[in-house]
Amino acid sequence: MSELLKNKIGFWTFLSIVINAQIGASIFLLPAELARFRAFGLIGWIIGGLGAIMIAMVFAFLCLDTDKPGGPHTYARMFFGEKVGFFVTWIFWCGSWACNPIIIATAVNYLCCAVGDFSPMGKLIAEISIVLSLTAVNVKGVKCGGYLSNILLLLKILPLIVVPLLAFGNMHPEHFAEYTPVGMSPMSTILKSSLIACWAFVGLEEGGSAAHSVTNPKKIVPLGIVLGTSFVAIVSLVITVSVFGVVPLAELEKSGAPFATVLGTLLGGSYDKLIGILTFIMCYGSLNAWVLFSGQIAQSASNEGIFPKHFGKTSANGAPTTALWLACFGTIAILIINEATPFGSTLSEFLDMSVIIYLALYLIAIISYITWMVKNKKYSWWKILITLGAFAFCVLIMSSSSVRSLYALGVLLLISLPVYFNVRKTHPVV
């Protein structure tokens, strides 16, 4: 992202980068996912938001104290060497495209609100078509993908304003009196909802990547990352409250397109179809950003000798074609497996697995900062408190997931082994 910024940017531009990196398809999906936890879903939003803010602050500390902006893979290599750096980079790259089926499923669910339900095979064809079309756009070059992202970004704001404004005049307080679902304790319900809420904040690590393009970074970066993440947390909570207050939670949890369900309840007619189209476009734009991001990660890793050289192969336009198409086919494989087998057959299960991947990456960054403090013997009580709080949050939320959700990490590491040994042939240091 920062490579696209030719001039130094100020506070407001940096703040918009942080916010746009986080607000995506998740905000249009999670109200329905959290509805199954009833009112405890709101508590999950609050805990997830506080945890995300602490994690964002740790990334800000790393950017400023190490003088090297970047993501979890950057700090893994810096503090733990090239070998660990390879596996973290691999998971980071895989996570950038392996989690895309969640966004794709959300997009297709909202599209169904506008044009009618698809058959299972029709949904799969629509999902694959979305991936292929966006990969084809990004293969034409970063500028093409970035231009499309900017156009679609303009449509993101409308549903976020319209739905809460309409909903708050039609709230039903009795909806918030629904508590723990049968078979779950309050604590397990809160932890599980917090895990799911974390999906709304995936992308917060991208803010650090723009640090060296910011004027007065020691002031703007930590403030922008924390305020941007806080803004996303507040907006997400407000939207969830508005949706919970309009639609009965037992009905909402069955909806694949909660915003369309709310407008259908409030206004009737074809307004739900309009929101379905707008949200589909927004999800399409969000997915475009992740496709673009996945290509840049692999290209950068290849150029630095972490990934095989063919991952960095580019077209005449400079697009990392091999990396983009590998990510495309990997996403398609997950879509087909998800449709054909019971593994990860529900969106909730797949969402859990995806969040675990990113929490593991954030945990690496947190441990990296703890290592920096110990090595340099530079301690500040408030930085220690925030860092340990972020560490405890990641560990606690990850421990609340099922063993099945941890499979994703194991599978990604297993797949990485042939690539790792291939890289070692030309770069023994890895």
Alpha-carbon span 161 to 150, nearest angstrom: 19
- How far is residue 146 CA from its own chain's centroid? 18
On the question of pLDDT at 317 being above 50, the answer is yes
Least confident of 94-98, 350-354, 384-388: 350-354
Across 353-370, average pLDDT: 92
Q: Is 316 helix (H, G, I), strand (E, B) or coil?
A: coil
The pLDDT confidence band at residue 212, using thresholds 50, 70 and 90, is low
What is the CB neighbour count within 10 angstroms for residue 405? 21
Distance CA 340, CA 157 (A): 36
Average pLDDT over the chain, rounded to an integer? 81
pLDDT category of residue 155 using cuts at 50, 70 and 90: low
Q: Compute the residue count for the chain.
A: 430
Could you tell me the two tokens for 303? 């150029």
Cα 347 to the center of its chain, rounded Å: 15
Query: What one-character DSSP code corresponds to residue 174?
Result: G
Summarised one tens digit per residue, pLDDT across range 368-427 is 999 999 999 888 889 999 999 999 999 999 888 777 777 778 888 888 888 888 888 777
Residue range 101-116: mean pLDDT, rounded: 87
> Looking at the 3D structure of the chain, how many domains does it have?
1
Between residues 220 and 344, which one has the greater pLDDT?
220
At 244-265, the pLDDT tens digits run: 988 888 888 888 788 888 878 8
Band of residue 174 on the pLDDT scale cut at 50, 70, 90: confident
Return the structure tokens found at 113.
Answer: 């609100």
Helix (H, G, I), strand (E, B) or coil at 300: helix
**34-59 tens-digit pLDDT:** 888 888 888 888 999 999 999 998 98
The pTM of the full predicted model, rounded to 2 decimals, is 0.85
Is the separation of the CB atoms in 361 and 112 below 8 Å?
Answer: no
Q: Which of 14, 315, 10, 11 is nearest to 1 (CA)?
A: 14
DSSP 381-392: HHHHHHHHHHHH
Could you tell me if 91 and 361 are in contact, meaning their C-beta atoms sit under 8 angstroms apart?
A: yes
| Per-residue pLDDT, 182 | 57
Half-sphere exposure at residue 423, Cβ-oriented, CA atoms within 13 angstroms:
24
293: Cα separation from own chain's centroid: 12
- Average pLDDT, stretch 177-199? 80
CB 24 within 8 A of CB 289: yes
Over range 227-253, report the average pLDDT.
88
DSSP per-residue letters across 321-345: HHHHHHHHHHHHHHHHHHHHSSTT-
- Higher-pLDDT residue of 5, 190: 190
Cα separation, 57 vs 33, in Å, equals 27
Average pLDDT over residues 352-359: 88
End-to-end CA distance of the chain: give it in Å, rounded: 26
For residue 221, what are the domain limits?
Answer: 2-426
Residue 265, C-beta contacts closer than 8 angstroms, at least 6 positions apart: 246, 247
Q: pLDDT tens digits, residue range 9-23?
A: 677 767 776 777 777
Q: How far apart are CA 210 and CA 69, in angstroms?
A: 7
Q: Which CATH number characterizes residue 301's domain?
A: 1.20.1740.10
Instruction: List, in sequence order, every residue forming a beta bridge with 214; answer none if it has no partner.
Output: 9
257 close to 276: Cβ distance less than 8 angstroms? yes
Q: Decide if pLDDT at 195 tops 60.
A: yes
* Ordered DSSP codes for 238-286: HHHHHHHHHS-HHHHTT-S-HHHHHHHHHH-TTHHHHHHHHHHHHHHHH
> pLDDT tens-digit profile of 119-148?
888 999 999 999 999 898 888 754 444 444
Task: Return the percentage of the chain with pLDDT > 70, whole number.
Answer: 86
Distance CA 321, CA 415 (A): 21
Q: What are phi and psi of 270, to 5 degrees?
A: -110, 15
Sign of the CA dihedral with 326 first, then 332, 337, and 338 last: positive
pLDDT confidence of residue 211: 60
Q: Model confidence at 309, in pLDDT bands (50, 70, 90)?
A: confident
Question: Is residue 280 predicted with pLDDT exceeding 80?
Answer: yes
**CB burial string 335-353: b at 16+ within 10 A, e below:** beebeeeeebeebebbbbb
Residues 166-184 have a mean pLDDT of 76
pLDDT at 175 over 70: yes
Does the structure show a pLDDT above 60 at 176? yes
Q: Report the percentage of the chain scoring pLDDT > 90.
A: 18
pLDDT of residue 279: 80
**Segment among 155-159, 202-206, 291-295 with least mean pLDDT:** 155-159
DSSP state of 180: P
| Vertex 248 angle, CA 244 and 252, to 5° | 75
Which of 426, 207, 189, 148 lies closest to 304 in space, CA to CA?
A: 426
Q: Which two tokens stand for residue 172?
A: 């039903």
Give the number of other CB atoms < 10 A from CB of residue 110.
30
Check residue 344 and give its pLDDT.
Answer: 44
How many of the other CB atoms lie within 10 Å of CB of 156? 20
Task: Give residue 429's pLDDT.
Answer: 64
